[in-house]
Copies of this chain bind each other. A is one copy, B any other.
Amino acid sequence: MSAAPKANPPIRTLLGPGPSPVNPRVLEALALPVVGHLDPKFLEIMDQSMAMLREVFQTQNRLALPMSGTGSAGMETCFVNLVEPGDAVLIGVNGVFGTRMVDVAQRCGAQVDTVEAEWGAAIDAQKFKATLEKKKYKLAALVHAETSTGVLQPLDDIAKLVHESGALLLVDAVTSLGGAPVRVDELGIDACYSGTQKCLGCPPGLSPITFSERAVEVVRRRKTKVQSWYLDLSMIEKYWGSERVYHHTAPISMNYGLHEALRLVLEEGLDKAWQRHRQVHEVFVREMRKLELEPAVAESIRAPMINAVKIPEGVDDPKIRQRLYDDFNIEIGAGLGPLKGKIWRVGLMGHGARMEKSRSRASERNEDRGSRRDDRYLRSSILDPRRPDSSIQPRDPLAIAIKR
Protein backbone atom coordinates (compact mmCIF):
# COMPACT_ATOMS: atom_id res chain seq x y z
CA MET A 1 0.00 0.00 0.00
CA SER A 2 1.05 3.56 -0.49
CA ALA A 3 1.01 6.33 2.10
CA ALA A 4 -2.37 7.78 3.09
CA PRO A 5 -3.16 11.30 1.92
CA LYS A 6 -1.88 14.13 4.08
CA ALA A 7 -4.11 14.81 7.10
CA ASN A 8 -6.18 17.89 6.54
CA PRO A 9 -8.43 18.31 9.57
CA PRO A 10 -11.10 21.02 9.32
CA ILE A 11 -11.04 24.09 11.54
CA ARG A 12 -13.83 23.40 14.01
CA THR A 13 -15.28 25.54 16.74
CA LEU A 14 -14.94 23.02 19.56
CA LEU A 15 -17.91 23.57 21.87
CA GLY A 16 -18.22 19.95 22.96
CA PRO A 17 -17.10 18.31 26.21
CA GLY A 18 -13.44 18.54 25.12
CA PRO A 19 -11.03 18.79 23.44
CA SER A 20 -11.56 22.54 23.66
CA PRO A 21 -10.20 25.12 21.23
CA VAL A 22 -6.43 25.48 21.48
CA ASN A 23 -4.65 28.82 21.58
CA PRO A 24 -2.27 29.10 18.58
CA ARG A 25 0.61 29.68 20.99
CA VAL A 26 0.07 26.16 22.36
CA LEU A 27 -0.03 24.65 18.87
CA GLU A 28 3.22 26.43 18.06
CA ALA A 29 4.81 25.06 21.23
CA LEU A 30 3.97 21.52 20.09
CA ALA A 31 6.21 22.04 17.08
CA LEU A 32 9.27 23.21 19.07
CA PRO A 33 12.49 21.22 18.49
CA VAL A 34 12.38 17.85 20.24
CA VAL A 35 15.14 17.25 22.79
CA GLY A 36 15.94 14.21 24.92
CA HIS A 37 13.96 13.39 28.06
CA LEU A 38 17.11 13.87 30.16
CA ASP A 39 18.28 17.01 28.35
CA PRO A 40 19.11 19.69 30.97
CA LYS A 41 16.92 22.14 29.06
CA PHE A 42 13.98 19.73 29.17
CA LEU A 43 14.50 19.16 32.89
CA GLU A 44 14.19 22.94 33.34
CA ILE A 45 10.89 22.94 31.44
CA MET A 46 9.66 20.07 33.63
CA ASP A 47 10.52 21.99 36.80
CA GLN A 48 8.72 25.08 35.53
CA SER A 49 5.64 23.05 34.60
CA MET A 50 5.55 21.49 38.06
CA ALA A 51 5.74 24.93 39.67
CA MET A 52 2.95 26.22 37.42
CA LEU A 53 0.83 23.13 38.06
CA ARG A 54 1.11 23.73 41.82
CA GLU A 55 -0.20 27.22 41.24
CA VAL A 56 -3.12 26.04 39.11
CA PHE A 57 -3.98 23.25 41.58
CA GLN A 58 -3.66 25.85 44.40
CA THR A 59 -1.33 23.60 46.32
CA GLN A 60 2.07 23.48 47.95
CA ASN A 61 2.33 19.75 47.30
CA ARG A 62 5.76 18.68 46.16
CA LEU A 63 4.23 16.03 43.92
CA ALA A 64 2.47 17.80 41.07
CA LEU A 65 3.27 16.60 37.56
CA PRO A 66 1.67 15.56 34.28
CA MET A 67 1.17 11.83 33.75
CA SER A 68 1.98 10.61 30.25
CA GLY A 69 -1.60 9.73 29.28
CA THR A 70 -5.01 11.38 29.10
CA GLY A 71 -7.31 12.23 32.03
CA SER A 72 -8.40 8.63 32.46
CA ALA A 73 -4.76 7.64 32.94
CA GLY A 74 -4.70 10.25 35.70
CA MET A 75 -7.75 8.66 37.30
CA GLU A 76 -6.11 5.24 37.12
CA THR A 77 -2.86 6.67 38.52
CA CYS A 78 -4.67 7.81 41.66
CA PHE A 79 -6.41 4.50 42.25
CA VAL A 80 -3.53 2.13 41.44
CA ASN A 81 -1.16 4.04 43.69
CA LEU A 82 -3.48 4.58 46.65
CA VAL A 83 -5.48 1.36 46.67
CA GLU A 84 -4.34 -2.14 47.58
CA PRO A 85 -6.46 -5.26 47.17
CA GLY A 86 -9.22 -5.37 49.79
CA ASP A 87 -9.15 -1.67 50.62
CA ALA A 88 -12.52 -0.04 51.27
CA VAL A 89 -13.26 2.82 48.91
CA LEU A 90 -16.30 5.12 48.79
CA ILE A 91 -17.21 6.79 45.50
CA GLY A 92 -19.83 9.40 44.65
CA VAL A 93 -21.58 8.40 41.44
CA ASN A 94 -23.78 10.81 39.47
CA GLY A 95 -22.50 10.42 35.93
CA VAL A 96 -20.09 8.69 33.57
CA PHE A 97 -16.92 9.57 35.43
CA GLY A 98 -18.07 8.48 38.88
CA THR A 99 -19.16 5.22 37.24
CA ARG A 100 -15.73 4.92 35.63
CA MET A 101 -14.04 5.46 39.00
CA VAL A 102 -15.94 2.48 40.40
CA ASP A 103 -14.75 0.30 37.53
CA VAL A 104 -11.13 1.45 37.89
CA ALA A 105 -11.15 1.00 41.68
CA GLN A 106 -12.61 -2.50 41.40
CA ARG A 107 -9.89 -3.46 38.92
CA CYS A 108 -7.43 -2.54 41.70
CA GLY A 109 -9.16 -4.99 44.00
CA ALA A 110 -10.94 -2.31 46.05
CA GLN A 111 -14.12 -3.05 48.03
CA VAL A 112 -16.22 -0.26 46.55
CA ASP A 113 -19.32 1.33 48.04
CA THR A 114 -21.11 4.18 46.32
CA VAL A 115 -23.23 7.16 47.21
CA GLU A 116 -25.39 7.85 44.21
CA ALA A 117 -27.38 10.77 42.88
CA GLU A 118 -29.46 11.16 39.79
CA TRP A 119 -27.50 12.16 36.70
CA GLY A 120 -27.80 15.93 36.70
CA ALA A 121 -27.92 16.26 40.50
CA ALA A 122 -25.07 16.64 43.00
CA ILE A 123 -24.00 14.07 45.59
CA ASP A 124 -25.75 14.84 48.85
CA ALA A 125 -23.42 15.55 51.77
CA GLN A 126 -25.77 14.06 54.36
CA LYS A 127 -26.05 10.82 52.41
CA PHE A 128 -22.26 10.77 52.08
CA LYS A 129 -21.96 11.33 55.83
CA ALA A 130 -24.32 8.49 56.66
CA THR A 131 -22.32 6.09 54.52
CA LEU A 132 -18.98 7.25 55.90
CA GLU A 133 -20.25 6.53 59.39
CA LYS A 134 -21.05 2.90 58.63
CA LYS A 135 -17.58 1.76 57.66
CA LYS A 136 -13.93 2.78 57.83
CA TYR A 137 -12.87 3.81 54.32
CA LYS A 138 -9.30 4.25 53.12
CA LEU A 139 -10.32 6.58 50.33
CA ALA A 140 -13.35 8.61 49.27
CA ALA A 141 -13.63 9.92 45.73
CA LEU A 142 -15.76 12.52 43.95
CA VAL A 143 -15.98 14.16 40.56
CA HIS A 144 -15.73 17.95 40.75
CA ALA A 145 -17.20 18.84 37.34
CA GLU A 146 -19.14 15.86 35.93
CA THR A 147 -18.58 16.29 32.20
CA SER A 148 -21.42 13.95 31.37
CA THR A 149 -24.07 15.97 33.22
CA GLY A 150 -22.79 19.53 33.69
CA VAL A 151 -22.90 19.37 37.49
CA LEU A 152 -20.30 21.18 39.60
CA GLN A 153 -20.14 19.19 42.83
CA PRO A 154 -19.97 21.33 46.02
CA LEU A 155 -16.91 19.99 47.81
CA ASP A 156 -16.60 21.87 51.12
CA ASP A 157 -18.93 19.84 53.32
CA ILE A 158 -17.96 16.47 51.94
CA ALA A 159 -14.24 17.27 52.16
CA LYS A 160 -14.68 18.04 55.86
CA LEU A 161 -16.63 14.83 56.47
CA VAL A 162 -14.07 12.71 54.65
CA HIS A 163 -11.25 14.14 56.73
CA GLU A 164 -13.12 13.62 59.96
CA SER A 165 -13.56 9.99 58.96
CA GLY A 166 -9.81 9.63 58.44
CA ALA A 167 -10.11 8.69 54.77
CA LEU A 168 -8.07 10.14 51.93
CA LEU A 169 -9.96 12.49 49.60
CA LEU A 170 -9.61 11.98 45.85
CA VAL A 171 -11.10 14.53 43.43
CA ASP A 172 -11.54 14.36 39.65
CA ALA A 173 -10.79 17.87 38.35
CA VAL A 174 -10.44 16.89 34.69
CA THR A 175 -12.97 19.44 33.49
CA SER A 176 -12.84 22.01 36.29
CA LEU A 177 -9.11 22.75 36.60
CA GLY A 178 -8.34 26.21 35.23
CA GLY A 179 -12.04 27.03 34.83
CA ALA A 180 -13.15 27.04 38.47
CA PRO A 181 -11.30 27.05 41.82
CA VAL A 182 -10.20 23.53 42.79
CA ARG A 183 -8.48 24.60 46.06
CA VAL A 184 -6.48 21.45 46.66
CA ASP A 185 -4.81 22.66 49.86
CA GLU A 186 -7.75 24.63 51.27
CA LEU A 187 -10.07 21.63 50.91
CA GLY A 188 -7.36 19.14 51.87
CA ILE A 189 -7.70 17.13 48.68
CA ASP A 190 -5.17 14.30 48.95
CA ALA A 191 -5.10 13.27 45.32
CA CYS A 192 -6.36 15.21 42.34
CA TYR A 193 -6.12 14.58 38.61
CA SER A 194 -7.01 16.62 35.58
CA GLY A 195 -6.72 16.64 31.79
CA THR A 196 -5.05 19.05 29.42
CA GLN A 197 -7.86 19.37 26.85
CA LYS A 198 -10.51 21.19 28.90
CA CYS A 199 -10.04 24.50 30.70
CA LEU A 200 -6.24 24.37 30.35
CA GLY A 201 -6.74 24.75 26.61
CA CYS A 202 -4.09 22.27 25.51
CA PRO A 203 -4.65 19.27 23.20
CA PRO A 204 -5.42 15.96 24.94
CA GLY A 205 -2.54 13.69 25.89
CA LEU A 206 -1.36 14.48 29.41
CA SER A 207 -2.98 14.27 32.82
CA PRO A 208 -1.76 16.67 35.51
CA ILE A 209 -1.98 15.14 38.98
CA THR A 210 -1.08 16.16 42.49
CA PHE A 211 -0.71 14.12 45.69
CA SER A 212 -0.53 15.46 49.26
CA GLU A 213 2.32 14.35 51.53
CA ARG A 214 -0.21 12.18 53.33
CA ALA A 215 -1.11 10.45 50.07
CA VAL A 216 2.57 10.07 49.15
CA GLU A 217 3.13 8.43 52.54
CA VAL A 218 0.33 5.95 51.79
CA VAL A 219 2.07 5.07 48.51
CA ARG A 220 5.39 4.62 50.34
CA ARG A 221 3.88 2.28 52.93
CA ARG A 222 2.20 -0.04 50.44
CA LYS A 223 2.57 -3.73 51.14
CA THR A 224 2.09 -4.66 47.50
CA LYS A 225 3.62 -3.29 44.30
CA VAL A 226 1.53 -0.80 42.33
CA GLN A 227 -0.16 -3.01 39.74
CA SER A 228 0.67 -0.64 36.89
CA TRP A 229 4.35 -0.20 36.07
CA TYR A 230 3.58 2.69 33.71
CA LEU A 231 1.65 4.64 36.34
CA ASP A 232 3.76 3.77 39.40
CA LEU A 233 4.36 7.11 41.12
CA SER A 234 7.13 5.79 43.34
CA MET A 235 9.23 5.48 40.16
CA ILE A 236 7.80 8.44 38.24
CA GLU A 237 8.51 10.87 41.07
CA LYS A 238 12.19 9.92 40.86
CA TYR A 239 12.26 11.15 37.26
CA TRP A 240 10.35 14.36 37.97
CA GLY A 241 12.18 14.83 41.27
CA SER A 242 15.85 15.65 41.81
CA GLU A 243 17.07 12.09 41.17
CA ARG A 244 16.15 12.18 37.46
CA VAL A 245 16.06 8.40 37.25
CA TYR A 246 14.89 7.30 33.80
CA HIS A 247 11.45 5.70 33.91
CA HIS A 248 9.81 6.09 30.51
CA THR A 249 10.53 8.52 27.69
CA ALA A 250 8.41 11.56 28.51
CA PRO A 251 6.16 12.85 25.70
CA ILE A 252 8.39 15.85 24.96
CA SER A 253 6.17 17.76 22.52
CA MET A 254 3.02 17.38 24.59
CA ASN A 255 4.97 18.68 27.57
CA TYR A 256 5.95 21.76 25.55
CA GLY A 257 2.25 22.25 24.82
CA LEU A 258 1.24 21.95 28.46
CA HIS A 259 4.02 24.33 29.51
CA GLU A 260 2.71 26.99 27.14
CA ALA A 261 -0.91 26.36 28.16
CA LEU A 262 0.00 26.81 31.83
CA ARG A 263 1.87 29.99 30.95
CA LEU A 264 -1.29 31.31 29.31
CA VAL A 265 -3.39 30.54 32.38
CA LEU A 266 -0.95 32.24 34.76
CA GLU A 267 -0.40 35.23 32.47
CA GLU A 268 -4.12 35.85 32.59
CA GLY A 269 -4.29 35.01 36.28
CA LEU A 270 -6.31 32.19 37.80
CA ASP A 271 -8.95 34.52 39.25
CA LYS A 272 -9.54 36.14 35.91
CA ALA A 273 -9.71 32.80 34.13
CA TRP A 274 -12.38 31.59 36.56
CA GLN A 275 -14.33 34.85 36.15
CA ARG A 276 -14.15 34.57 32.39
CA HIS A 277 -15.55 31.04 32.44
CA ARG A 278 -18.34 32.21 34.76
CA GLN A 279 -19.21 35.25 32.63
CA VAL A 280 -19.29 33.40 29.34
CA HIS A 281 -21.45 30.75 30.99
CA GLU A 282 -23.94 33.35 32.20
CA VAL A 283 -24.25 34.97 28.81
CA PHE A 284 -24.67 31.54 27.27
CA VAL A 285 -27.56 30.67 29.59
CA ARG A 286 -29.21 34.01 28.87
CA GLU A 287 -28.89 33.57 25.13
CA MET A 288 -30.18 30.01 25.32
CA ARG A 289 -33.27 31.24 27.10
CA LYS A 290 -33.98 33.59 24.21
CA LEU A 291 -34.13 30.43 22.09
CA GLU A 292 -36.44 28.90 24.69
CA LEU A 293 -33.72 26.41 25.58
CA GLU A 294 -33.37 25.58 29.27
CA PRO A 295 -30.32 24.47 31.30
CA ALA A 296 -30.68 20.87 32.47
CA VAL A 297 -28.95 21.52 35.80
CA ALA A 298 -30.14 23.55 38.79
CA GLU A 299 -28.49 26.98 38.96
CA SER A 300 -26.59 26.44 42.19
CA ILE A 301 -24.68 23.42 40.87
CA ARG A 302 -24.13 24.35 37.23
CA ALA A 303 -20.58 23.78 36.01
CA PRO A 304 -19.77 26.95 34.08
CA MET A 305 -17.45 25.23 31.62
CA ILE A 306 -19.76 22.38 30.59
CA ASN A 307 -23.35 23.43 29.93
CA ALA A 308 -26.08 20.82 29.78
CA VAL A 309 -29.03 22.09 27.73
CA LYS A 310 -32.37 20.30 27.59
CA ILE A 311 -33.25 19.19 24.06
CA PRO A 312 -36.80 20.41 23.33
CA GLU A 313 -39.53 17.88 22.69
CA GLY A 314 -39.67 16.81 19.05
CA VAL A 315 -36.19 18.02 18.11
CA ASP A 316 -34.03 15.51 16.23
CA ASP A 317 -30.83 15.45 18.31
CA PRO A 318 -28.38 13.74 15.92
CA LYS A 319 -29.64 15.75 12.95
CA ILE A 320 -29.11 19.06 14.73
CA ARG A 321 -25.61 18.14 15.80
CA GLN A 322 -24.81 16.97 12.28
CA ARG A 323 -26.03 20.26 10.83
CA LEU A 324 -23.87 22.21 13.25
CA TYR A 325 -20.91 20.13 12.03
CA ASP A 326 -21.71 20.33 8.35
CA ASP A 327 -22.93 23.89 8.00
CA PHE A 328 -21.02 25.71 10.74
CA ASN A 329 -18.04 23.49 11.68
CA ILE A 330 -19.29 23.59 15.25
CA GLU A 331 -18.95 20.62 17.58
CA ILE A 332 -21.23 20.27 20.57
CA GLY A 333 -21.57 17.15 22.71
CA ALA A 334 -24.38 14.59 22.83
CA GLY A 335 -25.85 13.29 26.08
CA LEU A 336 -24.41 10.06 27.45
CA GLY A 337 -26.10 7.09 29.12
CA PRO A 338 -29.52 7.98 30.54
CA LEU A 339 -29.15 11.53 29.18
CA LYS A 340 -28.67 10.44 25.56
CA GLY A 341 -31.11 12.38 23.37
CA LYS A 342 -32.18 14.43 26.38
CA ILE A 343 -29.37 16.99 26.63
CA TRP A 344 -26.72 18.70 24.59
CA ARG A 345 -23.43 19.39 26.27
CA VAL A 346 -21.90 22.71 25.31
CA GLY A 347 -18.34 23.17 26.50
CA LEU A 348 -17.15 26.73 26.99
CA MET A 349 -13.66 25.90 28.12
CA GLY A 350 -10.21 27.41 28.09
CA HIS A 351 -9.54 29.26 24.86
CA GLY A 352 -13.15 28.51 23.83
CA ALA A 353 -14.63 30.58 26.68
CA ARG A 354 -13.86 34.07 25.50
CA MET A 355 -15.05 37.43 24.27
CA GLU A 356 -14.16 38.01 20.67
CA LYS A 357 -15.13 39.54 17.43
CA SER A 358 -17.03 36.93 15.55
CA ARG A 359 -19.35 36.91 12.60
CA SER A 360 -22.37 34.87 11.71
CA ARG A 361 -22.86 33.69 8.17
CA ALA A 362 -25.70 36.09 7.78
CA SER A 363 -23.52 39.02 8.79
CA GLU A 364 -20.94 37.87 6.27
CA ARG A 365 -23.66 37.99 3.67
CA ASN A 366 -24.44 41.47 4.93
CA GLU A 367 -20.87 42.48 4.42
CA ASP A 368 -20.95 41.15 0.91
CA ARG A 369 -23.71 43.64 0.30
CA GLY A 370 -21.59 46.39 1.65
CA SER A 371 -23.25 46.94 5.02
CA ARG A 372 -20.33 46.47 7.45
CA ARG A 373 -21.17 46.24 11.12
CA ASP A 374 -19.35 45.85 14.39
CA ASP A 375 -20.06 42.25 15.25
CA ARG A 376 -18.52 42.18 18.68
CA TYR A 377 -20.34 39.66 20.73
CA LEU A 378 -19.58 36.63 22.81
CA ARG A 379 -18.46 33.42 21.24
CA SER A 380 -21.28 31.82 23.14
CA SER A 381 -23.67 34.01 21.23
CA ILE A 382 -23.13 31.94 18.13
CA LEU A 383 -26.22 30.54 19.79
CA ASP A 384 -27.99 33.90 19.82
CA PRO A 385 -31.26 33.64 17.86
CA ARG A 386 -31.37 37.05 16.30
CA ARG A 387 -29.28 40.14 15.99
CA PRO A 388 -31.77 42.99 15.86
CA ASP A 389 -29.17 45.43 14.62
CA SER A 390 -28.59 43.81 11.28
CA SER A 391 -30.63 44.31 8.14
CA ILE A 392 -31.03 40.67 7.31
CA GLN A 393 -32.26 38.95 10.42
CA PRO A 394 -29.28 36.80 11.39
CA ARG A 395 -30.03 33.61 13.19
CA ASP A 396 -27.52 31.71 15.18
CA PRO A 397 -26.43 28.32 13.93
CA LEU A 398 -28.40 26.40 16.51
CA ALA A 399 -31.55 28.37 15.81
CA ILE A 400 -31.08 27.74 12.12
CA ALA A 401 -30.33 24.08 12.68
CA ILE A 402 -33.40 23.60 14.83
CA LYS A 403 -35.80 25.58 12.72
CA ARG A 404 -34.80 24.28 9.32
Residues in A lying within 8 Å of B, measured CB to CB? 1-12, 14, 16, 18-19, 21-22, 27-37, 39-42, 45, 48-49, 51-52, 55, 68-73, 75-76, 100, 103-104, 106-108, 195, 197, 203-205, 225-231, 246-254, 256-257, 259-260, 262-267, 325, 331, 336
**Cβ contact within 8 Å between B19 and A37:** yes
Say yes or no: A249-B32 contact (C-beta < 8 A), given A3-B262, A39-B12, A107-B225.
Answer: no
- Is B205's CB under 8 angstroms from A76's CB? no
State how many angstroms separate the Cβ of A280 from the closest Cβ of chain B: 19
Instruction: Check A69–B69 contact: CB distance below 8 A.
Output: yes
Measured between alpha carbons, how far is A107 from B81 in the docked complex, in Å? 13
Check if A230 sits within 8 Å of B69, measured CB to CB.
Answer: yes
Chain B contacts for A2, CB-based, 8 A: 266-267
Known: A69-B230, A228-B76, A251-B203. A35 touches B7 (CB 8 A): no
Of B6, B41, B55, which is within 8 A of A9 by CB?
Answer: B41
Q: Tell me the minimal C-beta distance from A73 to chain B in angstroms.
A: 5
Q: Can you offer 9 A-B residue contacts whose CB atoms are under 8 A?
A: A1-B266, A70-B249, A76-B229, A107-B227, A107-B229, A108-B227, A203-B253, A205-B254, A227-B228
Report A82 CB to chain B, min CB distance, Å.
15
Question: Is there contact, CB below 8 Å, between B73 and A34?
Answer: no
Is the Cβ of B37 less than 8 Å from the Cβ of A267? no
- In the assembly, what is the distance between CA of A103 and CA of B108, in Å? 17
What residues of chain B lie closer than 8 Å to A19, measured between beta carbons? 34-37, 249, 252
| Contact of B254 with A9 in the complex, beta carbons under 8 Å | no
- Contact (Cβ within 8 A) B11 A68: no
| Chain B residues with CB under 8 A of A14 | 34-36
Contact partner of A72 among B9, B71, B195, B229, CB < 8 A?
A: B229
Take A100-B229, A203-B252, A249-B204 as given contacts and tell me if A34 and B22 are in contact as well, using a CB distance cutoff of 8 Å: yes
Residue of B nearest to A104 (CB): B229
Residues of B within 8 A of A40 (CB): 325
CA distance A48 to B106 in the complex (A): 35
**Bound-state Cα–Cα, A8 to B42, Å:** 9
Which residues from chain B contact A325 at a C-beta distance below 8 Å? 39-40
Q: Tell me if A41 and B10 are in contact (CB < 8 A).
A: yes
Min distance, Cβ A111 to any Cβ of chain B, angstroms: 15
List of B residues within 8 angstroms of A264 by Cβ: 3
Q: Tell me the smallest distance from the CB of A400 to a CB of chain B, in Å.
A: 21
CB-based contact A76/B230 at 8 Å:
yes
